[in-house]
């Protein structure tokens, strides 16, 4: 994500530098300036969305990270829809409608998917409880029943 944003910024600054490098372009360049700003804002959104969508012809890659033709074309679709005034969520919904939720790299936190978000925390909590219980047992055992460890010490030299 951060990389994509950085790339978008780099791209934006490069295009600004390019437009500044041609001062003789005249009033046309001035008129193009706000359009450029809007373009780079859209381009940032394209990169953000492309990072959240799965490339259908790759293994576990986003369409932002994939150089395949289909990914480029899908980025083109994102760009077109954003330019047509659709919101990023509407664009995402379009791809979900076509490819199913599979297209989202991050599953929606609802229904069965919630298990993905809740189970790790739950298991961590259970582990913590387990460790606390075991620690208590061990400390209780070492203070109360001193006979057992002593018994071991007696037996070990006997074996050798």
Partner 1 sequence: MNWKRSAFAVIAAVPVIALLANGMGKDPSQIPSPLPGREAPNFELALLDPAVLGRPASSGAAASGSEIPTVRLQDLKGQVVVLNFFASWCLACRDEHQPLTQTAAAYEGRGVKFFGVAYNDKPADSRRWIAQMGGQSYPALMDPGSRTAIEYGLYGVPETFFIGKDGKVAFKQIGPVNAELLTQKLDSLLAMPDPAAPIAAP
CB 94 within 8 A of CB 79: no
Nearer to partner 1, 69 or 152 (CB): 69
**Which position among 102, 117, 130, 138 is part of the footprint of partner 1 (CB under 8 A)?**
102
CB 68 within 8 A of CB 57: yes
CB 154 within 8 A of CB 146: no
* 8-state DSSP, 53: B
The reply to whether 120 sits near partner 1 by the rule CB under 8 A is no
Nearer to partner 1, 102 or 138 (CB): 102
Longest dimension (CA), the chain: 100
**Which position among 56, 65, 88, 104 is part of the footprint of partner 1 (CB under 8 A)?**
56
CB 18 within 8 A of CB 32: no
The reply to whether 74 sits near partner 1 by the rule CB under 8 A is yes
**Which position among 24, 28, 89, 97 is part of the footprint of partner 1 (CB under 8 A)?**
97
The reply to whether 130 sits near partner 1 by the rule CB under 8 A is no
């Amino acid at each position: 994500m951060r990389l994509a944003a950085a790339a978008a910024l780099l791209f934006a600054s490069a295009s600004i530098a390019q437009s500044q490098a041609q001062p003789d372009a005249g009033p046309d360049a001035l008129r193009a300036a706000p359009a450029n700003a809007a373009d780079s804002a859209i381009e940032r959104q394209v990169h953000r969305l492309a990072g959240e969508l799965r490339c259908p012809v790759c293994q576990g890659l986003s369409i932002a990270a994939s150089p395949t033709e289909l990914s480029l074309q899908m980025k083109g679709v994102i760009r077109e829809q954003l330019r047509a005034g659709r919101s990023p969520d509407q664009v995402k919904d379009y791809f979900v409608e076509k490819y199913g939720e599979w297209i989202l790299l991050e599953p929606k936190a609802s229904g069965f998917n919630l298990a993905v978000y809740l189970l790790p925390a739950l298991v961590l909590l259970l582990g913590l409880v387990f460790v606390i219980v075991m620690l208590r047992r061990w400390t209780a055992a070492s203070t109360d029943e001193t006979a057992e460890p002593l018994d071991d010490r007696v037996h070990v030299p006997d074996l050798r």
